[in-house]
Amino acid sequence: MKTRKQLLTPDRLVRHVSDISPALLAEQFGVRAVICDLDNTLAEWHSEKIATEVAGWIAALKKTGIGVCIASNTRNLRRLERVAGAMEVLHVPGNAGKPGVSGLKHALSLLDAHPGEAAMVGDQLFTDIVAGNRLGLYTVLVNPLAPHEFFATKFISRNLERLILRGERARLR
Ligand SMILES: [Mg+2]
């Protein structure tokens, strides 16, 4: 069992998903499946636009033989389906319920992967990273793509994240 501190500690901090090398994930950490958050990790909140560098990263993961599945807590399931479809990646149908682990377990079954060969990538400590750590995945915290987000996230979670990470978020380039 992980302690509370370990649950709140990502294995890695990066600025952006494109800073995560698919080759390194595969070779150094034995990762062959990536579960990815959607909002402010792959796309801006409420947006369906996928930036070129995000699309390039997804393509590089696939080329490395790493499966990708989106696990999102969004309520807008149509948008989730459209974005996953456009990127040609799997998605957990419905709200993933992070920091609960049922959505991530569903993702692992879709990816046909065990926790030890999967990574969780997301921008939120209390949902993405906690859920990933609870299952023993390799966890990567990215900086949020944009300052626009759900008010409770913005005013509560982000301040608590700052306290826990103590300024250790990946530095802006
Ligand atoms: Mg997010």
pLDDT tens per residue, range 106-119: 999 999 999 999 99
* Contact (Cβ atoms closer than 8 angstroms) between residue 125 and residue 11: no
Ligand 1: distance of its center to the CA of 8 in Å? Answer: 16
Options 3.40.630.30, 3.30.70.270, 3.40.718.10, 3.40.50.1000; which CATH number does 4-165 get? 3.40.50.1000
CA of 40 from ligand 1 middle (Å) equals 5
Peptide bond into 99 cis (omega under 30): yes
For residue 4, how far is its CA from the centre of ligand 1 (angstroms)? 21
Q: Where are the domains of the chain?
A: 4-165
Separation of first and last alpha carbons in the chain = 36
Report the distance separating Cα 146 and Cα 168, nearest Å: 18
Give pLDDT, residue 46.
86
Residue 25 pLDDT: 95
Kindly give the distance from the C-alpha atom of residue 45 to the centroid of ligand 1, in angstroms, as a whole number: 8
d(CA 98, ligand 1 centre) in Å? 10
User: Of 128, 74, 124, nearest to 99 (Cα)?
Assistant: 128
pLDDT of residue 165: 84
How many Å lie between the centroid of ligand 1 and the Cα of residue 38?
6
CA of 154 to the centre of ligand 1 (A): 11
Over residues 76-87, the pLDDT tens digits come to: 999 999 999 999
Which residues have CB atoms below 5 A from the ion given as ligand 1?
37, 39-40, 123
**Residue 5 CA, ligand 1 centroid: distance in Å:** 21
How far does the centroid of ligand 1 lie from the alpha carbon of residue 156, in Å? 14
In this structure, the number of other CB atoms found within 10 A of the CB of residue 85 comes to 10
pLDDT number for residue 14 = 95
Q: What angle do CA 128, 134, 139 make, to 5 degrees?
A: 50
Q: What is the pTM of this model?
A: 0.91
Whether the predicted pLDDT of 173 surpasses 50:
no
